[in-house]
Amino acid sequence: MQFYSCDSHVVEGAEVFEGLADHFGDEAPRLAHDPDKGLALHIMNFPVVSVGRFGIAGNKLGLPETDEKILAGYDLLNPGVVDSTKRMAEQDRDGICGEVMYPSLSMFTYAIKDNEAKAAAFRQHNDWILDYCAPNPERLIGIGCLPVPDVDACVAEAKRAGELGVKGFTIPAHAGLDLPYSDPAYDPLWALLQDMDLPITMHIFTGVTLDGGLPTHWGTPGGALKGYTLAHTTVVNSIIDLIASGVVERFPGLKFVIAEYETGWVGHFKQRLDHAAYRTPDQLVDYLTMKPSEYFDRNFWVTFEDDQQGMATRYDIGVANMLWGNDYPHHDSIWPNSMAVLDEVFADVPDAEAQAMVWDNVVDLYNIDTALLS
């Protein structure tokens, strides 16, 4: 059996943020030292997260040695996190052949208010990710970022970066009430991404506001008990908008990846959405040709890490819609123990189904040339 992680991460180099403050001032995302967080990403002058916090895979939170790593910024990250030519060894140690890698620091750039600053930051991110993946682009698939909600800028950047070789893009899981994904304004972007056959990811912790669209009393997705437990509700809202408004009817070739929310909620969500469509048909466009759950089956994929509930309900979710990821190098990652964890997760799963979830589905989704894996 072969294994390819469809939910891993880069830790963006400092050059992704260089020069932005010179042009955009306080509106720009920037790296600066904070007394409590060490080197940290600042959004609107607020220290959101430590750079080192994103590179502590294999370490437990709360231990002195882990705190030391967090405060050290780039200095104590694993070699392959900084130098992609060394990342192959870290993949080999975990027993995998490659990784689809989402942003880390840039996930929070979606929350800045200045659209021009956001677009500039994401151009630098996308150029950087291409350089990072260049040594082995089949084992290192870097996902770019698009500056939602500026649709014109999104279209321009998707075309530019996509033609340069970026193989997929993230958009925020929470788009905002003023321009939700149901709005026809996004149609030029959907049309382009469909034509270019580039998957679109909505990842946990991405939103046009730092609260991810959650109610204030729930707290943030990354910093509160309720916020984290209920984080998937914001992306569920976006999925419903994409289905009920007819986006995936009009653009049947779109491919949405729902990343790092695990999967145990999906089967019940599909069942309940179909029943809600029966109860309130006036809240869906009148030209849908399938049940909402059938659009999910065709147009949406979900990632999991070690989700036993997802395995128990995999036929309701759809085995073909499930993608495994090790979340390296974040602290939630099961690296370097992925093989032992998956042995437990797949204890009652037929080999062919397991192979689909850890290999076949991601290879098909990203058109990976397996002959070039080395």
Per-residue confidence of the chain (374 residues) as pLDDT tens digits? 899 999 999 999 999 999 999 999 999 999 999 999 999 999 988 999 999 999 999 999 999 999 999 999 999 999 999 999 999 999 999 999 999 999 999 999 999 999 999 999 999 999 999 999 999 999 999 999 999 999 999 999 999 999 999 999 999 999 999 999 999 999 999 999 999 999 999 999 999 999 999 999 999 998 899 999 999 999 999 999 999 999 999 999 999 999 999 999 999 999 999 999 999 999 999 999 999 999 999 999 999 999 999 999 999 999 999 999 999 999 999 999 999 999 999 999 999 999 999 999 999 999 999 988 86
Angle in degrees, CA 226, 230, 234, rounded to 5: 130
Alpha carbons 250 and 85: distance in angstroms, whole number? 42
In three-state secondary structure terms, 58 is coil
Q: Is the dihedral of CA 347, 348, 352, 353 positive or negative?
A: negative
Instruction: List all residues 6 or more positions away from 308 whose beta carbon is below 8 Å from its beta carbon.
Output: 264, 345
Q: CATH top-level class for 5-34+83-369?
A: alpha beta
Long-range contacts of 46-54 (CB under 8 A, 24+ apart): 48/108, 48/210, 49/105, 49/108, 49/222, 51/11, 51/105, 52/76, 52/77, 53/331, 54/9, 54/11, 54/104, 54/105, 54/329, 54/330
Residues in the chain: 374
Residues 6+ apart with CB under 8 A from 118: 109, 110, 112, 147, 150
Distance CA 210, CA 363 (A): 33
Give the pair of three-digit tokens for residue 266: 């999906």
* Nearest-angstrom CA–CA distance, 80 and 51: 15
Q: Are the beta carbons of 11 and 80 closer than 8 angstroms?
A: no
Cis bond leading into 149, ω under 30°? yes
Query: What stretch of H or E contains 273?
Result: helix 266-279
